[in-house]
Amino acid sequence: MASLAKCPIDSGRDDRKTAVAYEQGVSFKPGSEVVRDADGVKSVLRNASLVQDALDAAAMKQLQPDEIPLIFLDGKMHRERRKHITDFFSPRSIKEKFAPLMEKTADILVGELEQTKKLRIDEASWQMAVTLVGELIGVTRGKSRAQMKQTAKRIERFLYRTHMSDLKGWRLAIARGRAALYVMDFLIRDVRPTVKARRKAPQDDVISRLVAENYTEKAILIDAMTLCGAGMQTTREFISLVAWHLLDNDDLRRQFMEGDYDAQMAILEEILRLEPIVSTLYRRAPDDLPEKVANPLAVAGHSYAVSLRHANIDPAAVGECPFALDPARKERQQDQGAFLSFGNGMHRCPGSPLALNETLALMNRLLKVKGLKLASKPQVHWVPHLATFEIRDVLVTCD
Ligand code: HEM
Does residue 234 have its Cβ closer than 6 Å to ligand 1? yes
Does residue 133 have its Cβ closer than 6 Å to ligand 1? yes
Does residue 341 have its Cβ closer than 6 Å to ligand 1? yes
Does residue 81 have its Cβ closer than 6 Å to ligand 1? no
Does residue 273 have its Cβ closer than 6 Å to ligand 1? no
Please tell me the pTM assigned to this model: 0.95
Does residue 271 have its Cβ closer than 6 Å to ligand 1? no
Q: Compute the mean pLDDT over every residue in the chain, rounded to the nearest whole number.
A: 92
Q: Is the pLDDT of residue 3 over 50?
A: no
Q: Is the pLDDT of residue 8 over 60?
A: no
Q: Is the pLDDT of residue 2 over 50?
A: no
Does residue 50 have its Cβ closer than 6 Å to ligand 1? no
C-alpha of residue 234 to centroid of ligand 1, in Å: 8
Spatial distance between the Cα atoms of 17 and 107, rounded to a whole number of angstroms: 28
Pairing of β 118-120 and β 303-307: unpaired
Maximum average pLDDT range among 10-19, 179-188, 354-363:
354-363
C-alpha of residue 171 to centroid of ligand 1, in Å: 31
| Inter-residue contact 158 to 186 (CB < 8 Å) | yes
* One-letter identity of residue 167: L
C-alpha of residue 152 to centroid of ligand 1, in Å: 19
Does residue 109 have its Cβ closer than 6 Å to ligand 1? no
Name residue 389's beta-bridge partners.
382
Q: Is the pLDDT of residue 290 over 70?
A: yes
DSSP annotation string for 95-154: IIIIHHHHHHHHHHHHHHHHHHSEEEHHHHHHHHHHHHHHHHHTTTTT--HHHHHHHHHH
Does residue 281 have its Cβ closer than 6 Å to ligand 1? yes
pLDDT > 70 fraction of the chain, expressed in percent and rounded = 95
> Which of 74, 79, 272, 349 gets mutated to test ligand 1 (max ligand atoms within 8 A of its CB)?
349
Pairing of β 280-284 and β 379-383: unpaired
Residues in CB range of 115: below 8 A, 6 or more apart:
none
- Give residue 171's pLDDT: 81
DSSP annotation string for 187-198: IIIIIHHHHHHH
Spatial distance between the Cα atoms of 63 and 72, rounded to a whole number of angstroms: 11
Atom of ligand 1 nearest to the CA of 237: 1
For 137-174, the pLDDT digits (tens) are 999 998 999 999 999 999 999 888 656 666 778 887 88
Does residue 131 have its Cβ closer than 6 Å to ligand 1? no
Q: 3-class DSSP state for residue 62?
A: coil
CATH T-level topology, domain 19-397: Cytochrome p450 (1.10.630)
Residues in CB range of 143: below 8 A, 6 or more apart:
151
For 69-101, the pLDDT digits (tens) are 888 888 888 998 888 899 999 999 999 999 999
Q: Which residue has the higher pLDDT, 169 or 275?
A: 275
| Domain boundary assignment for the chain | 19-397
- Give residue 335's pLDDT: 78
Spatial distance between the Cα atoms of 98 and 353, rounded to a whole number of angstroms: 10
Q: Is the pLDDT of residue 299 over 60?
A: yes
What residue's CA is closest to ligand 1, atom 15? Answer: 347
Atom of ligand 1 nearest to the CA of 71: 40
